[in-house]
Amino acid sequence: MIDICMLGTGGMMPLPGRWLSCALVRCGASLTLLDCGEGTQIPWKSLGWGFRQLGAICLTHMHADHVAGLPGVLFMVAHAGRTEPLQLYGPPGTAYVVEGLLRIAGDLPFPLHVQELQGGERLVLPGGLQGSCAPAQHGIPCLAYRLELPRRPQFQVERAQALGLPVQYWSRLQHGESVEYEGRLITPDQVLGPPRRGISLAFITDTRPTTRLSAFARDVDLLICESMYDDPADLPLARAHAHMLAEEAARLAREASARALLLTHFSPKINDPSSAEKAARRIFRATRAARDGEILTLSYPPAPGEQQERSQSAEPAD
């Protein structure tokens, strides 16, 4: 299971009731932060998830509305007692910007490891999450991120029992380890069912839509995507500043065959994000406009014959 809190949904500048676009992902007891705009620590503090469990920060690009909150967040993590290393990812130029921001963050009681990415790399994220990134189109180096939680095949109890295998060996096989029992080598494929689909989400913001990004977000359970503008008349602005219209985000979700679309990164021009939601839903029905502070939960989908696990979807009710 993955929990996602939309700490902020705004672009360019924070507004009353709308913090800058960032998302906090919780998997198990571990946290990963996607972008870190000005004031990120304030809605995070209200959330009550704590700061010490933060294990990774993934920055899309180096514009202030996505990175200016870093000193405040690092301050809170430090005072929460973290001493374990913290990993920070971002595009080329990240190390230079982070070095400057650290000058006002003070001494940190934990190592901060900064890794610059070109796009195409695989990442190991906290809580068992597997990450990847792809280049976006924003005029400066910018990345989209994909997070996946794999799922082990189901352990087939009846097959283990048919082999006469004692219970104490089951866990090792379930974790992919072969075992020897009574002179026989028992391999995981002898007691495990077929592969099962895991959970996936993509975070795409500050970019024009591209075929590479739709391929990158292929089949995700949730696509969190920018909707800087809601009015088709603003297409020249979107093109000039390398952003998206709500309907362009919807087309990207449709082309990606995403299961749900959550719009975020709204321009200060957008007073009511429901207008963006309505525009996008004409193209991709399973769309919702994110609200500051809302939490979504993604659960493993059921395999054939399994009972449906409860999950909060981004698709609105009729």
Residues marked as binding? 61, 63, 65-66, 138, 206, 265
- Active-site annotation, residues: 65
| CB atoms closer than 10 angstroms to residue 311 | 16
| CB atoms closer than 10 angstroms to residue 152 | 14
Dist. CA 302–CA 300, nearest whole Å: 6
Question: Comparing C-alpha atoms, which of 290, 293, 265 is closest to residue 277?
Answer: 290
Dist. CA 215–CA 222, nearest whole Å: 14
Annotated binding residues for Zn(2+): 61, 63, 65-66, 138, 206, 265
Residue 95 bridge partners (DSSP): none
130-135/143-151 β-pairing: antiparallel
**Residue 110 CA to chain centroid, in angstroms?**
24
Indicate the burial class of 15 (C-beta count within 10 angstroms; 0-12, 13-18, 19 or more). Answer: middle
Question: What are the structure tokens assigned to 186, written together?
Answer: 């028992």
Dist. CA 14–CA 34, nearest whole Å: 17
CA angle 76, 82, 86 (to 5 degrees): 90
Spatial contact of 310 and 299, defined as CB atoms under 8 Å apart: yes
Question: What are the structure tokens assigned to 132, written together?
Answer: 């990847």
